[in-house]
Chains A and B, each alone.
Chain A
Amino acid sequence: MLNFIASCWRTSGKFKFGVTVLALLVLIALVAPLIYRPIIGTSSPSRPGVFPRWQPPSSTNPLGTDGHGRDLLTDYLAGLRMTLYIGFLAGVIATSVGVSVGFLSGYQGGWLDSILLTITNMLIVIPSYPILVALAMVTPEMNVTTMSLILALFSWPFSARTIRAQVMTMKERPYVELAKVSGQRDLSIIFTEILPNLMPYLLMGFAFSVVGAMVAEVGIEAIGLGPSNIITLGLMINYANGWGVYSMGRMEILLIPVGVLVVIFAAITMINRGMEEYLNPRLQKVTTES
């Protein structure tokens, strides 16, 4: 896997760019508490009324405060942190379920495969957004984990389908046949022969699930149905709309979270594109000579 990442890094400028930007954002998210703790002390970033409302930038609040009496810099930093975290967690859950189902389906084949594939296809055609919103509405005490679980519920079928297709081509390869003939057990074949070769696809599937989960996440939070006790970039968009930041002349309160989200989506897409171009050189521009 490290080999694959290194090759992508060498061959694709897009991959390099995306990884650099994303790494920077993740780094900011990781060190965020070091920045906002001195400002808000030990209270939760989402606690309202810690400061007076709508303060201009000052030495205590570098960017001023928001309409709920919270520090704005803290809002952005904690929002970035939680948005990335929820997207990542949902992506991990969705990919693990998707990979397991995909393996079972593709490796076993037969009846089990038909049944799993049919269920996967059914889930893919159901429009997920209305159901996600309905689930989000009735879930009491929404927290990061329940939110991620809800988001993962509808994004695993996509990776299941991709992984299944790859496993089906891979189990016909000579090295797998050889392992079978030499009496290796199925599980050990899966882990030693197939899984390592699937890593690139797994990474791509993971990146897609993270993007998918974050798109749905922000969509739910922006209309105010996410967990209201956790600051995220989506929740900031919702607040900004509620405060009417435009008529207050504070457009940046809306533009910052929207802009950061666009950068996150663009970075992950660049990474994915870089991996895709490496795996499928037809997508690059200089492929026609061969």
Chain B
Amino acid sequence: MLKLLRKYPILSYYANKLFAYVLTIFGALTITFFMFRLIPSNPIENWIKSLERQYSVSIEGGDAMINSYKEKFGMTGTLWQQYTRYMYNVIFNLDLGPSFINFPTPVEDLLAAAIPWTVALMTVSILIAWVLGLLIGATAAWFRESAISDVITNVSITLSQVPSYLVALFLVLFLGYQWKLLPTRGAFDAQYAIGLNWNFIRSVAKHSMLPALSIIIVSLAGWILSTRSLVISNMGEDYLMYAEAKGLKPRDIMVRYALRNAMLPQATGLALTMGSMMSGQLLIEMMFVYPGLGQVMSRAIAIFDYNAMMGIIILSVVSVMTASLLVDLALPVIDPRVRTAIKA
């Protein structure tokens, strides 16, 4: 085995990446598990209290009842036993346990209902920001001596680190309240039947406008800046001068040479951003009462629902790590320079 790895360095590169993938996910989940359990809190009491409020009754719970719930939620035994049981269930049964916020719905089902909303909102926003960012960034690089390019660059720098929830506050105030153009809460109007009908789709599109814009504006600024510097640093290369000397049209040089060479890092960046979609904008979803993972998160945190919180973190860690693993595995295939570096 070791001999084989030594003979083919590419195999040992893949083995290394896979090992790091498994180890990092496992470690991140372990850290999170203990962090949550060590935070002093009493989810079962919170949960019973929230039920009492919800149905305005008083629940006379003896120790027997609390203990039976503790068992259901995997909270009996020592911390170590709880940990091993939880990890065993997650890894071998893909069982994240029951949720408190929607007892007894399993956490998997709760997440499965929220994921499509988050994925749809984030995928559309990320893609729009990426495509626009490439186009505007490349244009700004091409006309880098012009005043317009300076304005674009400086506005992008200004916006690039502003958290999107502040942008969202502005948008809600002006587009939502002042001019009443767009709805600011929820994901669709309740009067339409959920399904593939025109009214519902239009309602969903309209409701996603503000959260999507808030996300797009900030990430667009980032893509503009990175594309611009990538394209500019390509412009000094000899092959561009050669293309110019050949008499190619500036537009062709820009699209086929300068922009094309910026594509690999930007595609990698896109893949990594896609990976972080599950946790990237929880706060935006909370603000807009959007029925995605952010909503599950805010309800779970309110009564300290361990299982649901862990579920969201597992989802987010696995998707971030998987995206980065895919990039690592694909790079040697796509980019010959990486192959050479591995062999050396």
Contacts and interface: CB of A to CB of B under 8 A. Distances in A.
A268 B161 contact: yes
Interface residues of A, number: 44
A176 interface: no
B12 interface: no
Given A118-B23, A129-B283, A266 B162 contact: yes
A261 B169 CA distance: 12
Contact of A130 (B154, B162, B309): B309
B203 to A, nearest CB: 23
Interface string A237-259: 10000000010000100110010
A289 B236 contact: yes
A266 B235 CA distance: 28
A130 B157 contact: no
Contact of B161 (A125, A269, A285, A290): A269
Given A237-B169, A269-B161, A134 B320 contact: no
Interface in B144-178: 144-145, 149, 154, 157-163, 165-166, 169-170, 173, 177-178
Given A135-B39, A246-B173, A269-B158, A130 B301 contact: yes
B282 interface: yes
A129 B158 contact: no
B161 to A, nearest CB: 4
B145 A285 contact: yes
Interface string A198-221: 000000000000010001001100
A22 B6 CA distance: 54
B195 interface: no
Contacts of B279: 127, 129-130
B283 A219 contact: yes
A122 B28 contact: yes
A125 B162 contact: no
Contacts of A126: 28, 31-32, 313, 317
A137 interface: yes
B24 A121 contact: yes
Contact of B170 (A121, A258, A282): A258
A282 B229 contact: yes
Contact of A266 (B20, B35, B158, B309): B158
A265 B161 contact: yes
Interface string B183-202: 00000000000000000000
Contacts of A138: 39-41, 304
Contacts of B301: 130, 133-134, 137
Contacts of B309: 130, 134
A262 B27 CA distance: 36
Which residue among A127, A237, A251, A261 has the maximum number of chain B CB atoms within 10 Å of its CB? A127
A130 B283 contact: no
B107 interface: no
B56 to A, nearest CB: 24
A21 to B, nearest CB: 11
B162 A222 contact: no
B129 interface: no
Q: Chain A: interface secondary structure?
A: helix
B286 interface: yes
Nearest to B39: A138
B280 to A, nearest CB: 8
B134 interface: no
A134 B36 contact: yes
B22 to A, nearest CB: 12
B212 interface: no
A199 B178 CA distance: 47
Nearest to B297: A130
Contacts of B144: 285
A14 B157 CA distance: 10
Interface in A179-233: 211, 215, 218-219, 222-223
B32 A129 contact: no
Nearest to B283: A219
A288 B169 contact: no
Interface of A: 14, 118-119, 121-123, 125-127, 129-131, 133-135, 137-138, 211, 215, 218-219, 222-223, 237, 246, 251, 254-255, 258, 261-262, 265-266, 268-270, 273, 282-283, 285, 287-290
20 contacts: A118-B23, A121-B20, A125-B25, A125-B28, A125-B320, A126-B28, A127-B282, A127-B312, A127-B317, A131-B32, A131-B36, A134-B309, A137-B301, A219-B283, A222-B165, A223-B283, A254-B169, A269-B160, A282-B233, A287-B232
Given A118-B20, A223-B283, 16 more contacts: A122-B28, A122-B31, A125-B320, A126-B28, A126-B31, A130-B313, A134-B36, A134-B39, A138-B304, A222-B165, A255-B170, A266-B157, A273-B157, A283-B232, A288-B232, A288-B233
